[in-house]
Amino acid sequence: MRTITDLAGDGGRRGIFDELSKREVRRAALTAVAVPGYQVPFGSREMPVARGWGSGGLQVTLALVGPQDRLKVIDQGDDGGVNASNLRRLVVNHVGCQEESDTREASLIQSRHRIPETPLRADQVLVLQVPVPEPLRAVEHDVREQRRMHAEADYSRMWVGLYEDVVRNGVVTKTAGYPCMVNDRYLISPTPIPRFDVPKLDRAEQLTLFGAGREKRIYAVPPHTVVEPLVFEDIPFEVEHTPGAACRHCGSQESYLVEVPSVAGSVAWVCSDTDFCARNREKDQ
């Protein structure tokens, strides 16, 4: 005869993500890889982080990472950011994998708002946190109409929106999350990465997975997949660039730079990718 204790179990620590949930995320990820750019719904679970603060990326990472992996987590390129440090500690304590700050040595990289400057390899996986996965939300609020437009590849309203932006401002002013076509079929939002990072998705070596926990969607850009930003023939796609700007730490002019205040009150520039910047400084020593 089974006792109440037997039915209740041993009460041991179960972790933050059970195996059935991991399997569901893996199945959704496999579907996303099979149909690049398509938003696959999944049963997003409650995580020990608020929805909208990386819960989707965290679930994808937990579903893929194992004890043998070397995990790198960055927040806008910074390994030491509060968001990155907390998520990395959470995953490492749950899985028992190794922490890694060197992009070249990491097997799985979870990122918020940046793609590393160092080109990734085929044996690496990039997971991007996604706050708003639907690129059509800016031009169409009805969810049913959004689904119809994706099903029929009807993205005329997005083109009209970009055209109106050009008419008003002379250029396309949209920066973060610039809309892109995947395999000339599905329109995606590449998350709030800067336009500087969009070309890194095109025909990349690594698998890139996008996880949106609040919206319960996963989509993917498999290796060697064509990713093209929406551009007009007579208006070329341009990335962020400030003439003459260079990182005050490593002197780089080719990386994505962010402004920081200096002691003199003027503007200074530093590399957003802290690992890339540190390795550049080591080369100069």
- 226, two tokens: 């064509």
Q: How far apart are CA 150 and CA 148, in angstroms?
A: 5
> Comparing C-alpha atoms, which of 109, 86, 118 is closest to residue 197?
118
Contact 133, 189 (CB under 8 A): yes
Q: How far apart are CA 203 and CA 231, in angstroms?
A: 18
User: Which whole-number Å values give the CA distances from 118 to 90, 194, 199, 265, in the listed order?
Assistant: 25, 16, 13, 31
Q: How far apart are CA 242 and CA 138, in angstroms?
A: 28
Q: What are phi and psi of 82, to 5 degrees?
A: -60, -45
Residue 97 annotated in active site: no
Q: In 32-53, which positions are buried (b, 16+ CB within 10 angstroms) versus exposed (e)?
A: bbebbbbbbebebbebebebeb
| Active-site pick, 12, 97, 250, 251 | 250
Residue 277 annotated in active site: yes
**Which letter does DSSP use for residue 34 in this model?**
H
| Active-site pick, 57, 161, 177, 277 | 277
| Active-site pick, 57, 161, 180, 247 | 247
Specify which residues 127 forms β-bridges with: 110, 209
| Active-site pick, 37, 56, 77, 213 | 37
Q: Which amino acid is at 40?
A: V
Residue 180 annotated in active site: no
Active-site positions read 37, 247, 250, 271, 277
